[in-house]
């Protein structure tokens, strides 16, 4: 599985968009980009995933560059409850041949400030 | 629908003692995972299971054993606890046919003295 690089920490003002970058320059053609987050003392929570195209759901948007070597997770209107560690993970998607092992790095600690 | 539950929430052991952590899910998921998280670190995979009666090793399996006798339960055992196993343990599950959305439990905080 490809390795990812994320900034250690970021701040964001409440109500503003939070843009969290991730580099995955060694990603291979069949690997997806996943984002999870972990609010203090809780289990991680799935946010979104994508392969090539930009994706959006009720929680966030995922922008993947055309060469797929980097991506950005966007929280459009950050709230205090979005303060968490955000993990960018690269891996093969689904199917019976995929064991679904997730390799967590240290992630980005996002602090949303009033 | 409780999702993924873990028992116990907290535990303190002495070196050499044994214990079993229980993970239960009510979503009929095929795949289940055990991770550990040390302070300031990301999660590391200990063992996983792709179905009832099957288990496999993850990144850090040494010192742990697992069993999946029922589809809804995944047990993690420590036969002889060591201080290096002080950690927070998370269980997760997912559907076999889905993309890799794993549902995590609330964690078990284990301290080995």
pLDDT tens profile B33-59: 999 999 888 899 999 999 999 999 999
Q: Which residue of B has its CA nearest to A92?
A: B100
Q: Using 50, 70 and 90 to split pLDDT, how confident is the model at B108?
A: very high
Q: Does B97 touch chain A (CB under 8 A)?
A: yes
Residues with Cβ within 8 Å of B100's Cβ and at least 6 positions away in sequence, in order, are: A32, A34, A49, A91, A93, A94, A98, A100, A102, B94
Reference A112, options A15, A35, A33, A25; nearest CA is: A15
pLDDT surpasses 90 at A17: yes
Quote the mean pLDDT of chain A: 91
Q: Does B89 touch chain A (CB under 8 A)?
A: no
Q: Using 50, 70 and 90 to split pLDDT, how confident is the model at B1?
A: confident
**What local confidence, expressed as pLDDT, does residue A94 receive?**
53
Residues of A in contact with B97 (CB under 8 A): 94-96
pLDDT tens profile A30-80: 889 999 999 988 999 999 999 998 999 999 999 999 999 999 999 999 999
Angle at the Cα of A65 (from A59 to A68), degrees rounded to 5?
A: 105
Is-contact A110 A81, C-beta < 8 A? Answer: no
pLDDT surpasses 70 at A2: no
Cis? peptide before B8, omega within 30° of 0: yes
Q: Does B32 touch chain A (CB under 8 A)?
A: no
- Averaged pLDDT for residues A14-24: 97
pLDDT surpasses 90 at B70: yes
User: Given the DSSP bridges, would you call strands A108-113 and A9-13 parallel, antiparallel or unpaired?
Assistant: parallel
Give the range among A16-25, A68-77, A92-101, B39-48 with minimum mean pLDDT: A92-101
Q: Which residue of A has its CA nearest to B42?
A: A106
Q: Which residue of B has its CA nearest to A46?
A: B101
């Amino acid at each position: 599985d490809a390795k990812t690089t994320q900034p250690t920490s970021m701040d964001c003002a409440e109500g503003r968009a939070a843009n969290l970058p991730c580099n995955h320059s060694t990603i291979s053609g069949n690997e997806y980009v996943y984002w999870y987050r972990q609010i203090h003392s809780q289990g991680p929570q799935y946010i979104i995933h994508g392969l090539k195209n930009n994706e959006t759901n009720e929680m966030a948007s995922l922008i993947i560059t055309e060469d797929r070597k980097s991506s950005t997770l966007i929280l459009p209107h950050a709230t205090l409850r979005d303060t968490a560690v955000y993990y960018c993970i690269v891996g093969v998607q689904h199917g019976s041949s995929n064991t679904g092992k997730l390799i967590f790095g240290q992630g980005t600690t996002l602090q949303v400030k009033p | 629908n409780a999702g993924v539950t873990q028992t116990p929430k907290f535990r303190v052991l002495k070196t050499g003692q044994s214990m079993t952590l229980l993970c239960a899910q009510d979503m009929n998921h095929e795949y289940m995972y055990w991770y550990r998280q040390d302070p300031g670190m990301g999660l590391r995979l200990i063992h996983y299971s792709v179905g009832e009666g099957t288990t496999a090793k993850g990144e850090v399996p040494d010192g742990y054993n697992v069993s999946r006798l029922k589809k809804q339960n995944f047990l993690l055992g420590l036969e002889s606890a060591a201080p290096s196993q002080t950690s927070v343990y998370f269980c997760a599950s997912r559907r076999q046919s889905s993309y890799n959305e794993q549902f995590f439990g609330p964690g078990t905080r284990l301290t080995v003295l």
